[in-house]
Structure 1
């Protein structure tokens, strides 16, 4: 579901849930947004297009399956939050939560929205129903939105509702800086992102964000994108980052792989199968 807009959920709630602490904030250039002329808008789109090409946007369209973990690293410890498996052809998405109940959530992303999530939930190998199922499907959908955005944000800058502007005053010899705002989409349309695009490679080198629920004068939270991995797809190569480093902590989207095929029960098995 590569066209899904990341604005669907309140990211502050999701990220705070993951980190369990106040977001680390480091200084980032956040020049005020100015009205842009046609030339400036063309520059923003050109930088965004170059970034997408560097990350393998055309190959990404042909990638059938994606496997990765979402984890938080800090204080000498790494905590896996969710293990993810995505069938990008059908929209089926499997989340395994590393809890004592062996929770497995399978959602149909192509048929779901925040208020109506379609899927199946298992605990200890047994199907869950009722309110508990509804709550866990909602959690699974939040995981899908949050985890895939941390992994694939550079490939989503032309999604519907995304407004791009080029910050010439913030750009320098090493980076072109894009400022992302959003139209009337999702629950938090006042979120803002700053993308620092490496001028040499075209890859996303760093991002900063100020979320709608943060104070207007809050310093944006910033993370360096590192640990790039090359995935092979039928249409070429895709470049995705496994590490997002901010201060003393890091968000990991690691154990990345692009399987050529999956087991028949990849989205029906009621017990965990994505590894320890």
Structure 2
């Protein structure tokens, strides 16, 4: 048994070493620093051009958004007008109050969970919503309070929009470099975010759909071999 454990520990150690080396190689190849951009009126104008392309006015006038994330494991119905969202995953359903999370209600297996027991569940729903809604509506948030906008000139001479979030969400300090079509429509962004240790990972914004209220929403995103689907999209009043 001791001999077996020694062999097992050696195997585990070798695998960990391979993992560390592999991450180091990936980090060296793909990690990029946040680029320097030029802030000012031109950056604001580019952000407004992007908002017009995705029909920000229609977004502001849309009351309900429905989608799913994580392969359908997280499901949402967001009432933007009242600042409430229904979050469903596993055996939980949280009626999340975005303006006062302490008044949110939690159901587990159809039964109401007490306030004391629900605190961690509400925090989880809040984190899920912040992350998963960003993959849906990030283009509409480029002029939010606490954002810093600047223009970055890419190698091909085109202009990209760098957005830094000083406040808000679950991970303030994140930054995104939007690559745009000539009309301002978003194609992809590169990310510098706390949850991804390699800076500059790029994700596409694909399969755009025009909702019944007129705004445009993405149905999927690609990051290398991974595709993130947004489920059955709905936007209505």
| Shared fold (TM-score, shorter chain, > 0.5) | yes
Cα distance in 2 for residues equivalent to 1:64 and 1:187? 23
Q: Of the candidates 204, 223, 230, which is equivalent to residue 203 of structure 2? A: 223
Residue number in structure 2 paired with 1:199:
182
User: Cα distance 1:89–1:222, how it changes in 2: closer, same or farther (>3 A)?
Assistant: same
User: Cα distance 1:229–1:214, how it changes in 2: closer, same or farther (>3 A)?
Assistant: closer
Residue number in structure 2 paired with 1:32:
35
Residue number in structure 1 paired with 2:62:
63
Cα distance in 2 for residues equivalent to 1:189 and 1:67? 25
2:79 is aligned with 1:87: yes
- Deviation, structure 1 residue 65: 0.9
Whether contact under 8 Å (2:51, 2:139) holds in the other structure is yes
Residue number in structure 1 paired with 2:218:
241
Whether contact under 8 Å (1:161, 1:183) holds in the other structure is yes
Residue number in structure 1 paired with 2:120:
135
After TM superposition, the structure 1 = structure 2 runs for residues 98-177 of structure 1, keeping only pairs within 5 Å, are 99=90, 102-112=91-101, 117-168=102-153, 170=154, 172=156, 176-177=159-160
Normalising by the residue count of structure 2, what TM-score does the alignment of the two structures yield? 0.79
Structure ID, larger Rg = 2
Structure 1 residues not aligned, in runs of 5+: 1-21, 72-78, 261-276
- Deviation, structure 1 residue 27: 5.1
Cα distance in 2 for residues equivalent to 1:124 and 1:188? 30
Secondary structure of 2:235's aligned partner: coil
Whether contact under 8 Å (1:28, 1:208) holds in the other structure is no
- Deviation, structure 1 residue 129: 1.1
Cα distance in 2 for residues equivalent to 1:87 and 1:187? 20
**Aligned-pair Cα RMSD in Å:** 2.5
Whether contact under 8 Å (1:44, 1:165) holds in the other structure is yes
Cα distance in 2 for residues equivalent to 1:46 and 1:80? 36
Normalising by the residue count of structure 1, what TM-score does the alignment of the two structures yield? 0.69
- State the Cα deviation string for residues 201-228 of structure 1 (Å, max 9, x = none): x21100111124655xx34221111010
Which protein, 1 or 2, shows the higher relative CO under an 8 Å CA cutoff with sep ≥ 6? 1
Residue number in structure 2 paired with 1:208:
190
- Deviation, structure 1 residue 131: 3.8
Structure 2 residues not aligned, in runs of 5+: 1-22
User: Number of residues paired by the alignment?
Assistant: 212
